[in-house]
Structure 1
Amino acid sequence: MNSITQVMKFRRSMVEYALKHGVTKTAIKYNTYRQYVYRWLQRYDGSLESLRNKSRRPKHHPKAHTVAELKLIQNMRRRNPEAGLVVFWVKLRQRGYSRSITGLYRTLKRIGMTPVKPPNPKYVPKPYEQMLYPGQRIQIDVKFVPSACLTGEAKGKRFYQYTAIDEFSRWRYVEAFEEHSTYSSMIFLVHLVQAFPMPIECVQTDNGPEFTK
């Protein structure tokens, strides 16, 4: 609902004064031009709504979409309700549409035919693969050891902790290295194979540079 503004109340007061005392006295009293008073006298029909500013938006535009173009857009949108703006514009261009993509976007928004976003598929978590025997898969991870955890001769140095855990038995092997590199990873794997009591079939890492480079 349109609200009644102070300007509209001012115009009503001015018009009612002009009806009683004339245009010239009104222009002097309200410090305005006589043409301004005449204009609102002509528009005034006794209601405040007649004193509201009219829209300056043009009713017709020389570059507006034609009826045929609007019909093409509506028909294509019914066939492609989920197509994105670029894909939809390309499909229209293949059928003779010559407008810009920005013009198409404004038209789709104006007629309420923007793309219909399909609902997101329900997430179904993948069941975790349970290991059947020791050594089937071993997880390896590397973490930086905080300086607060170091004591004695190790204090002031940098260490990286390599940890291997067997997924079936939860058997764990831990070793620390001063260097975070593929060489340290290789040494750790050699020691892991020697320490684990059974053959190792698979080793899983986070594909960090200490394993891939």
Structure 2
Amino acid sequence: MHSIITEELRFRKRVCEYAIKHGNNAEAARCYHTSRQQVQRWVKRFDGTIDSLRLYSRKPYSHPNQHTKEELVLIKCMHSRFKHEGLSQVYVEAKKRGYKHSYGSVCRQIRCHIKEKKVQIDIKYVPRESLDFSTQGKSYYQLTAIDEFSRKRILKIIDEKSVTNTSRFLLNLEAKMGFRIHTIQTDNGREFTNYGVKDRECLFDIVLKRLGIEHKTTRPFSP
């Protein structure tokens, strides 16, 4: 049920009531400075309620390139099996199974139908000549968080490649991204994991658990 009644709708209602009362669309058109054809269209739709005079949706009921139900099921299945390898791999696996649309179409469908938000975090060394301040011999690194769907990026320069800095980066990441993060994916570096050490939980994982975010890692020895 629409709750907003605009001045345009009130105008249409007055025109229709005048035309019906006088039984003359042309006279109503002259009185209200509109066309007879327009009055005729409004009167034909008018059922006594103002809602009957609202604009119809122009959204098409179907589209020649619209995804079929089978294609949507395929995307959901491939995303469930291969999402840990990234959306590119989801697309490749779907193509192997007969998917005909583009990579962008896969991303849009996942964004619309699969609600989880996944962010990838990476860390890279920043060459000293790229910085616009004096490094005084220190090394600097760039932390990058990328939303898998929108490709929105949050960047931070740090002066030490450590789990302490990556954990601090998490604390206000959701606020900067502007949405609730479901999953964070990283590599197996010591800044993100205790890879190979089983008797001690990594600080990065401790912070993620406190924030209610799932941590996934890429395959060992993969980019």
**Paired residue total:** 122
Q: Where in structure 1 do 4 or more consecutive aligned residues deviate above 4 Å?
A: none
Identity of aligned residues (%): 38
**What are the within-5 Å matches in structure 2 for residues 5-154 of structure 1?**
5-21=6-22, 22-110=24-112, 112-113=113-114, 116-117=117-118
Cα pair 1:85 1:115 within 8 Å, conserved: no
- Counterparts of 2:105 and 2:98 in 1: how far apart (Å)? 15
**Whole-angstrom CA distance in 1 between matches of 2:7 and 2:87:** 43
1:2 Cα deviation from its structure 2 partner: 4.9
Q: Secondary structure at the match of 1:54?
A: coil
* TM-score normalised by L of structure 2: 0.48
For residues 57 and 96 of structure 2, the distance between their equivalents in structure 1, rounded to whole angstroms, comes to 38
Q: Call closer, same or farther: CA 1:114–1:84 in 2, change over 3 Å.
A: farther
Does the CA contact (< 8 Å) of 1:82 and 1:115 recur in 2?
A: no
**Shift in alpha-carbon separation, 1:76–1:142, aligned structure 2, 3 A:** closer
Gaps of 5+ in 2: 122-135, 139-223
CA contact (8 A) 1:73 1:92 kept: yes
C-alpha displacement of 1:65: 1.1
Distance 1:118 1:104, change over 3 A: closer
Q: CA RMSD in A?
A: 2.6
Q: In the aligned structure 2, how far is the partner of 1:77 from the partner of 1:29?
A: 61
Report the Cα offset of residue 76 of structure 1: 1.8
Distance in 2 (alpha carbons) for counterparts of 1:142 and 1:49: 71
Deviation at 1:142, TM superposition (A): 6.9
Following TM superposition, by how much is the alpha carbon of 1:83 offset from its aligned partner in structure 2, in angstroms? 4.9
Structure with greater Cα Rg: 1
CA contact under 8 A between 1:83 and 1:115: conserved in structure 2?
Answer: no
**Amino acid in the other structure paired with 2:19:** A
Distance 1:105-1:62 versus aligned 2 partners, 3 A rule? same
Contact 2:45 2:52 in 1 (8 A): yes
Deviations, residues 43-65 of structure 1 (Å, cap 9, x unaligned): 11111111110111110111111
CA distance in 1, matches of 2:20, 2:110: 49
Q: Give the Cα separation in 1 of the matches to 2:83 and 2:36.
A: 57
Which secondary structure does the structure 1 equivalent of 2:66 belong to?
coil
Distance 1:84 1:5, change over 3 A: farther
| Structure 1 portions without partners, runs of 5+ | 121-140, 144-213
